[in-house]
Amino acid sequence: MSTAVRVRGLRKEYPGHLAVAGIDLDIPDGEVFALLGPNGAGKTTTVEILEGHRQRTSGEAVVLGEDPGTAGRAWRARLGIVLQTATDAAELTVAETVRHFAKYYPNPRDPEEVIDQVGLTAKAGARVKSLSGGQRRRVDVALGIVGRPELLFLDEPTTGFDPEARRQFWALIDALAHEGTTILLTTHYLDEVEALADRLAVIARGSVVAEGTPATLGGRERAEAVVRWQDERGDHEERTPFPTKLVSQLAADRGELAGLTVTRPSLEDVYLDLIGEQP
Ligand SMILES: Nc1ncnc2c1ncn2[C@@H]1O[C@H](COP(=O)(O)OP(=O)(O)OP(=O)(O)O)[C@@H](O)[C@H]1O
């Protein structure tokens, strides 16, 4: 399998500020990869360098086989980009806007189908200007996917979405991933990462502080479990690295246990720990 994104020692210095402090990343073809980190961590800067929208100070970057700092129009047509800031709303309708963008690409998706996929069919005839913030964001997503990209960059794509729109968006990303689209996503929503990402990297102060799958980040799967149950004496809670053993002992001694739960740290617990450990 080839690598859609390969980054080594990536650095970006703004005057007086090191925004990206030497990042390594490998994203294989077809993977959904999430970048997570607090405000100002360097996610957008990193993504903009990979999109060819910003020059790096040093380091190596290869995106779909080319250096994003010098790659041309044919390369750009293979990318889909949903920026953090929304597209300027013109006088055009949703359908006109999506059809217009489709013409820039050699092998676009059907604009009507795309409008349907982002849940805007009922608004197809409305001017983009008249839409709500969340609906405009859906237009951004439509414009990001209409060119049938091999690699899709999504910078905080669901900010402003209502819960139903987020679920619909997740289903769309799943469908794109099934078709083989590689996706690089930045988000602040940990449930979004758990729902969508094959792997993620946590960035803090310009550096990758942890990388893994949502289930294993920061040794999450090996962390102590909390076993809770109830009996006639009240609620019980025990921490153990071996919950299976504890539960089978309890079951052998007492039979069925009321209110039994076994929990390990959530992705959010692990994430906050990683961020908190920053000097
Ligand atoms: N054009 C610029 N000139 C100077 N400093 C910048 C510029 N763009 C970003 N920065 C700084 O670089 C750092 C990283 O910013 P970046 O936008 O990459 O963070 P982020 O992780 O995407 O944050 P957020 O989650 O808030 O979007 C921040 O401290 C920011 O203030």
More confident residue, 86 or 161: 161
Distance CA(42)–CA(216), nearest Å, equals: 23
Number of domains the chain is built from: 2
User: How far is ligand 1, taken at its centre, from the CA of residue 46, in Å?
Assistant: 9
Mean pLDDT of the chain: 92
Whether 36 has a pLDDT exceeding 70, the answer reads yes
Which residues constitute the domain of residue 251?
224-263
> 278 lies in a domain?
no
More confident residue, 159 or 74: 74
Distance CA(93)–CA(129), nearest Å, equals: 8
User: How far is ligand 1, taken at its centre, from the CA of residue 45, in Å?
Assistant: 6
Give the nearest ligand 1 atom to 35 CA: 21
Quick one: 177 and 241 in the same domain?
Answer: no
Q: For residue 278, what pLDDT is reported?
A: 46
Whether 177 has a pLDDT exceeding 60, the answer reads yes
Whether 261 has a pLDDT exceeding 60, the answer reads yes
- Location of structure tokens 């729902």: 195
Whether 156 has a pLDDT exceeding 80, the answer reads yes
Q: For residue 182, what pLDDT is reported?
A: 97
Pocket test for ligand 1, best of 11, 18, 43 (most atoms within 8 A of CB): 43
Phi, psi of 161 (to 5 degrees): -80, 145
Pocket test for ligand 1, best of 14, 51, 83 (most atoms within 8 A of CB): 14
- Location of structure tokens 């217009």: 100
Whether 279 has a pLDDT exceeding 50, the answer reads no
Looking up residue 89, the CATH number of its domain turns out to be 3.40.50.300
Q: Which residues contact 107 (CB under 8 A, 6 or more apart)?
A: 147, 148
Which pLDDT band holds residue 87 (cuts at 50, 70, 90)? low
What is the mean pLDDT of the segment spanning 23-43? 95
User: How far is ligand 1, taken at its centre, from the CA of residue 187, in Å?
Assistant: 14
Quick one: 208 and 229 in the same domain?
Answer: no
Q: Which residues are near ligand 1 (CB < 6 Å)?
A: 14, 17, 19, 37, 39-45
User: How far is ligand 1, taken at its centre, from the CA of residue 115, in Å?
Assistant: 32
Least confident of 10-14, 86-90, 136-140: 86-90
What is the mean pLDDT of the segment spanning 93-106? 94
Quick one: 256 and 126 in the same domain?
Answer: no
> 279 lies in a domain?
no
The highest-confidence range among 50-59, 169-178, 261-270, by mean pLDDT, is 50-59
Q: For residue 3, what pLDDT is reported?
A: 95
Give the nearest ligand 1 atom to 15 CA: 4
Q: For residue 251, what pLDDT is reported?
A: 93
Least confident of 24-38, 86-100, 222-236: 86-100
Protein residue closest via CA to atom 5 of ligand 1: 14
Protein residue closest via CA to atom 25 of ligand 1: 39
User: How far is ligand 1, taken at its centre, from the CA of residue 180, in Å?
Assistant: 30
> 190 lies in a domain?
yes
**End-to-end alpha carbon distance in the chain:** 38
- Residues 219-240: pLDDT tens digits? 888 888 999 999 989 999 999 9
Q: For residue 23, what pLDDT is reported?
A: 97
Quick one: 208 and 230 in the same domain?
Answer: no
Three-state helix/strand/coil letters over 228-240: EEEECCEEEEEEE
Protein residue closest via CA to atom 4 of ligand 1: 14
Do residues 158 and 166 touch, judged by C-beta distance below 8 A?
yes
Quick one: 29 and 132 in the same domain?
Answer: yes
Q: Strands (DSSP E) along 15-73, which ranges? A: 17-28, 32-36, 58-63
Smallest CA-to-CA distance from 117 within 90, 152, 143, 150 is with 143
Pocket test for ligand 1, best of 12, 17, 55 (most atoms within 8 A of CB): 17
Residue 39's CB is within 10 A of a number of other CB atoms, namely: 7
Which pLDDT band holds residue 63 (cuts at 50, 70, 90)? very high
- Residues 114-144: pLDDT tens digits? 999 998 999 999 999 999 888 888 899 999 9
Quick one: 214 and 255 in the same domain?
Answer: no
Whether 109 has a pLDDT exceeding 80, the answer reads yes
> 66 lies in a domain?
yes
Give the nearest ligand 1 atom to 37 CA: 21
User: How far is ligand 1, taken at its centre, from the CA of residue 14, in Å?
Assistant: 9
